[in-house]
Structure 1
C-alpha cells in the first residue's frame, strides 16, 4: 500500500458490509429515479410533438450541420484564445502576489480581488456599452474574449498561487543553495513542477471558459448557443435545436473531463 493510500485511510474508514449495502441500494434507487425522469421527459416531448419528424429532419441536412459546426468552431476558438491569454496572465499574477515587492503584491491582489468579484456579464456590458462611450471600441470577438480573460485570469492566479504555496519549501531552498536568484528558482524549479501538478485543474478550468463563451450572445458573437437560437427560430424547432447544442457542449466537456482525469492518473 502506498503512502498516499495510507493518508486516505487515515482520513476515511473503509465502508463495512452494511455501509456497502446501503451504497448499492442508494445507487440502484438513483438509477431508477433518473431512468423514470428520463422516460417522463421523453413522454412529455412526444405528447407535445417535440419528437415529430418536422422537429428533427433539418439535422440530417449538411447545410444545417455545417452551420452548427461553424458556430461550434467559433466557440472553441474563443475558448482556446481566452485560455492562451488567461493562463499565462494568471501565472504572472500568482507570482506577483508572492513577490517580494509590497507594491507588486498589492497591485496583483487588487486585480485578483476585483475581477473575481465582478460578474462576467457586467464586464461584457462594459466592453459593449461603456468603453465605446469613451472612444474605445473592439471587434466583436475581442469584446467577448477580453472580459473572459480578465475574469478567468484572477481565478487561475489563485490556482497557481495555491500550487506554489503547496510545493515543499525544500525545492526552493535547494535552488537557492545552487546560487539561483528568486526569479531563476521560480522559472527553472518551481513553475515547471507546479504546472505538472496543476495540469488537471487547468484542463478543468477550460470547462468554465467554454461555458463563459456562451455569453457571446451579449455582444452578438456567433457562438454555438447564439446560432442555435437563430436556427431554432428559423425552423420553428427551438427546443430540438437547443438539445442538439447541449449535446455538443456535453461532448466537448466530457472530452475535457476525460483529459483532466487522464492527466491526474498520470500524475499519481
Structure 2
C-alpha cells in the first residue's frame, strides 16, 4: 500500500464488502421476528374468536357506518380548524418573541411558556368547564393554544437558523427591520421548519382523540359507542381493527403530503440543471476572453 492509501485508511473507514452480508442477515432476522410477532397476534385473535361473524355483524348496519362517518367528519373538522389556527397563532407569538420592543417580547414569551407547559387536556377542560364552551369549541381551543405555542418556538428557531450575515447585509443596504424579517428571514425560515411543522400537524391530528374524554362525538367516541352499546359480545377488538388503520392512514397521508411539499419547496428554478450548448472554439465570453481552440491554445 502506498503512503496516501495508508493515510486514507488511518483517517477514514474504508468501505468493505464484508459488512454487507451481515446487514442483510440482520434485516432478514428483523423481518422474521416481525412476521413471527404478527403471526402470534393473529393466532391470539383467532383463539379468542375475534373473527367470528357475530362480532363483525354490527358493521353491516347502516346506522353503524353512519355513526363512524359522522365521527370521522367531526375529527377532520376539529383537525382542520386547529391546523389552520395553530400556525397562525404560532406565527403571531413568534413575531412577538422576535420583536425588539421589550413590552411586546416579554408578554409573548410568558404566553408561549405558559401554554406550552400546560397539558392539552387541562386546557380543553378549562375552556369546557370555566368558559362553558361547546365540546367541539373547547377541543379546538385547547389544541390551538398548546400547539400554537409549540409552533411559535419552531418558527422562532427557524428564523435564528438563518445565517446572521444575511440579516446584517440587508440592514447594511438600508432595509428596515420589518422588511428584513418579511423578505429575507421568514421565507428561508419557513423552508427550514416545514418538516417540523408537518410533524406537529400529525400530533394535532392524533390529539383530536382527546375529544373522547369530553364526550365529543369524534371518531374514537363513535367506536366506543359501537363497542359498548350493542347487544353483542363486546366487539371491542373488531372496532379497534377498523378504526386504527383509518387513523394510521390519515397520519401517513399527512406525513407524505408534507414531505412532498418540502421537496417542492427545496427545489429552486435557479439551481435546476439547464441544458446549455457548448460554446464554439473562439467564441467571445462575457469576461472578454476567448474560448480555447481545439489545439489547446486561445485564438
The TM-score range, normalised by the shorter chain, is 0.7 to 0.9
Shift of 1:101: 1.5
Q: Contact between 2:191 and 2:262, CA under 8 Å: does it hold in 1?
A: no
Shift of 1:242: 1.8
Matched, 1:92 2:92: yes
Shift of 1:169: 2.4
- Structure 1 counterpart of 2:178, from 168, 183, 186: 183
In structure 2, the residue matched to 1:204 is: 199
In structure 2, the residue matched to 1:77 is: 77
In structure 1, the residue matched to 2:263 is: 265
- Structure 1 counterpart of 2:134, from 139, 145, 156: 139
In structure 2, the residue matched to 1:227 is: 222
Shift of 1:165: 0.7
Q: Deviations over 1:93-113 (max 9, x none)?
A: 112222112232222222222
TM-score, with structure 1 as normaliser? 0.86
Shift of 1:25: 2.0
Q: Contact between 1:143 and 1:219, CA under 8 Å: does it hold in 2?
A: no
Structure 2: unaligned runs, 5 residues or longer? 1-11, 268-299
TM-score, with structure 2 as normaliser? 0.78
* Helix, strand or coil at the partner of 1:137: coil
Q: Contact between 1:94 and 1:158, CA under 8 Å: does it hold in 2?
A: yes
In structure 2, the residue matched to 1:163 is: 158
Please identify which structure carries the higher helix content: 1
Paired residues for 1:117-132 under 5 Å: 117-129=117-129, 131=130
Matched, 1:218 2:218: no
Alpha-carbon separation, structure 2, partners of 1:15 and 1:209? 43
In structure 1, the residue matched to 2:297 is: none
- Larger RCO of the pair (alpha carbons < 8 Å, separation 6+): 1
In structure 2, the residue matched to 1:56 is: 56
- Between structure 1 and structure 2, the one with the greater Rg is 2
Alpha-carbon separation, structure 2, partners of 1:142 and 1:55? 35
Q: Contact between 1:83 and 1:206, CA under 8 Å: does it hold in 2?
A: yes
Alpha-carbon separation, structure 2, partners of 1:244 and 1:104? 49
Aligned-pair RMSD on alpha carbons?
2.1
